Structure 1
Amino acid sequence: MTSKSVQPVRQPGDSTHVVWAIIALAAGGFGIGTTEFAIMGLLQDVAEGLQISIPQSGQLISAYALGVVVGAPVLAALGARVPHKYMVLGLMGLFTIGNLSSVVAADYTTMLLTRFLSGLPHGAYFGVAAVIAASLVAPAKRARAVAAVMLGLSVANVVGVPLVTWLGQQYGWRLMFVAVGIMGAITLVLLQRFVPFTPTHAEASIRKELSALKRIQVWLALLIGIVGFGGFFAVYSYISPTMTDVTGVPESALPLIVGLYGLGMVAGNLIGGRLADRSVMGSIYIVMTAIIIVLVLFWAAAGIPWLAIPLVFLLGAAGASLIPGLQTRLMDASPDAQTLAASLNHSALNMANALGAFLGGAVIAAGWGFKAPALVGAGLAFLGLAVAAISGLLDRRGQAPVASDDADALSDRKISGSK
């Protein structure tokens, strides 16, 4: 699944079909986001149902994350010669099977395995979906198309996660996996109906996809995500106790806080896509700076409810704004292996989650309080900005050029070749 295999499928007058294709791809993101985050609100129910401790049930989150980290590069590389439409269908099928398997998992070990299985297609799905979406639109709208696919993940935090969590609490936690399985099945129908078929290029191969790993700009973009986004997760991982213990928000209001964060993600996706279409690296510089500012403000104002609560919205917006730019940067940094590069973004984001949560927890355990992770996060975000500056410097010196400057010409050549 190299970039050469991504033949443009835009045709005059097919804008409605393009919209539905992107909606179908985003629907997959909605289901993935729902299953990834909804279990966090049902850990106690799962623990009681499987007769395990809450910390043990928390390992189900880790099992899913491990599946994402492993599955993104492995499945993207193995699917190098599979047409993109068949690839997203296969990945969504695996996702659906994994979630439905969790419905009948009889014990803790089996549940760990099914959660790992459900996580495997996560990164590869978003990677392939991003490449498909970018191929459906004009070059000047690539990042917005990628952001539209990622919007499904953001909307899941506003709609899917609260709804499925409520269903699980009211009618049993296994219903969560039934609901997500149904989402997966619906997505399969939409993908089959609306995503166009494009043949794989004859030169597509696992080796060519793996060539992405030889490019320094790919590694720098991944490092921006791991370190910079780690700053975001240092705070968000502990947002609930921070809101209750520092800000003074009642526990009953926490779902509203989470919903506010989700709305911020939706806004951030839309903003980030537009910024990245103007300038990919420019958007990364702007967003990383915004994350630093928001985190410092959150540290200073965490004890002031009328300031801290709006900052939760801005935290979600700033974090989500980074994703379209990073996704597009990775695709540009490896034009001959876009799918693997784009898929690795989600491995990087899960590593960022682990890094941020670990460092944030470390300063809390050291007795520095729930405000301290915000300063840790700001420091990580600053390091991410520094890595971005190094990446941009290499671009300007021509030592590791990225294809984004030639995106229009590349797309035009593809369109000409597909006629």
Structure 2
Amino acid sequence: MQSRMKRTLYLLALGVFGIATTEFGVIGILPQIASHFQITADKAGWLLSAFALVIAVFGPFMTLLFSGVDRKKAMVFVLMIFTISNILSALATNFPLLLFARILPAFLHPVFWSIALSAAAGAVPAADSPKAVGIVFGGFTIASVLGVPLSTFIADVFNWQASFALCAIVNGFSLLGLCLWLSPMPVSVKATFGDQVKILKKPVLWIQLLLACLMVSAMYASYGYLAVYLNSITGMNGREISVMLLIFGIAGVGGNWLAGKMLSRNIPLTTIVFILLLSLAHLLLYIAGGFFIPMVMVIIVWGFIHTGGFLISNINVTSAAPESPEFVNSIFTSCGNLAVTIGATLGGMTIARAGVQYVAYTSIILLGLAGVVWGFSTFKYIEKKGTATEKK
């Protein structure tokens, strides 16, 4: 890749780092927020799931609304709103106000994601697009490595308000980076609404969206309550949990890199290997949950596998409709965040009705359903390919 192209990709990754830290940084501080406002863990979980639900509902519409705006200006505006919302979150005096401040930037989240991912894929030859998208997704991975555990650590040392202040600083730096070093990205040709929504008629797209929804739901049914699990089942304190989240994220850097490399070779095989290995990781989570040292090992394995899930899901969905990259990325963003909502809600229901220790089985069941959909989609692909060969 050329140096200018790499700079663009890393700047996009920097922006993703900012918004991902905001969205998922709350995962590690849910116990403190629940305690502060005297609410249950599953109610506190709405800080994650409501954010994702707004993205899921409004994602494609917001992306279409911004489709004619210079891409740099749109992304700078998004990061400005994220910075302001984190300041409001830090100042919130009650849970409804905190929830409102959290939801505010969610409307614009898919605008940044769809632009960043489509720009990354379009900046390189088609064969290298998974690697380019993987670099941008690296911002999400680094947010897991640094943003999420650092937010947890700051909350433990100071308070949960300081965690949101940290997120405001992170988004502020991301905003500054894009303002100073990202070149203008004007839209040369604005596709019409009708041209973009044509992709919704493709059955293969809906199959891949269902597969992505099940995979991401499985990921966040357990990961969304990781801090709660480590606190309640493993008996870890706030600082130990922040270290575990850091280890989880560091392992994920390697997993994200390997997923991008494997996707460039074989997308269906990478997908089913991910489903099987993540199922095994959740089984180990249930077995080793009450033991400190074995849980450290599980966290490493789980983190390595987990982090590639978003990248794998994205490549599956966008490959189904390459003719409309930004719109399909916005649909994927909506799908992914709907899946986060579903996963967090199902995980919360499991915790409320059966106990925290059984949340891993929620993920395993969802992954089993994902495996069924993968089998159906792969069979249909082979059948279609065979029919095309016979016609020739």
The TM-score with structure 1 as length reference comes to: 0.80
Match of 2:276 among 289, 302, 307: 289
Which residue does 1:54 correspond to in 2? Answer: 39
Task: Check if 1:82 corresponds to 2:69.
Answer: yes
1:25-64 equivalences under 5 Å are 25-43=12-30, 52-55=37-40, 58-64=45-51
Retained in 2: the 8 A contact 1:247–1:303?
A: yes
Task: Check if 1:390 corresponds to 2:373.
Answer: no
Task: Check if 1:375 corresponds to 2:361.
Answer: yes
Shift of 1:333: 1.3
1:158-173 equivalences under 5 Å are 158-168=145-155, 170=157, 173=160
User: Are residues 293 and 139 of structure 1, via their aligned partners in 2, closer, same or farther at CA, if it must alter by over 3 Å?
Assistant: same
Shift of 1:320: 1.5
The letter for the 1-side match of 2:374 is A
Match of 2:298 among 270, 287, 311: 311
1:335-374 equivalences under 5 Å are 335-367=322-354, 370-374=356-360
User: Are residues 269 and 301 of structure 1, via their aligned partners in 2, closer, same or farther at CA, if it must alter by over 3 Å?
Assistant: same
The letter for the 2-side match of 1:53 is Q
Match of 1:94 among 64, 81, 88: 81
- For 1:124 and 1:297, locate their aligned partners in 2 and report how far apart those are by CA, in whole Å: 37
1:179-258 equivalences under 5 Å are 179-202=166-189, 204-244=191-231, 246-247=233-234, 253-258=240-245
Shift of 1:371: 4.2
Q: Unaligned 5+ residue runs, structure 2? A: 388-392
Shift of 1:394: 2.7
Which residue does 2:131 correspond to in 1? Answer: 144
Coordinate RMSD, CA, aligned: 3.1
Which residue does 1:73 correspond to in 2? Answer: 60
The letter for the 2-side match of 1:137 is V
- For 1:284 and 1:64, locate their aligned partners in 2 and report how far apart those are by CA, in whole Å: 27
User: Are residues 105 and 207 of structure 1, via their aligned partners in 2, closer, same or farther at CA, if it must alter by over 3 Å?
Assistant: farther
- SS of the equivalent of 1:278 reads coil
- For 1:259 and 1:288, locate their aligned partners in 2 and report how far apart those are by CA, in whole Å: 23
1:105-184 equivalences under 5 Å are 108-168=95-155, 170=157, 173-184=160-171
User: Are residues 182 and 289 of structure 1, via their aligned partners in 2, closer, same or farther at CA, if it must alter by over 3 Å?
Assistant: same
CA deviations on 1:156-207 (whole Å, 9 max, x unpaired) are 2222233344445555544444433333233233224444445434351233
The TM-score with structure 2 as length reference comes to: 0.85
CA deviations on 1:82-136 (whole Å, 9 max, x unpaired) are 3433332332233233334445556554433321112222233122111111122
Retained in 2: the 8 A contact 1:332–1:338?
A: no
Percent identity, please: 25
Which residue does 2:308 correspond to in 1? Answer: 321
- SS of the equivalent of 1:348 reads helix
Retained in 2: the 8 A contact 1:44–1:54?
A: no
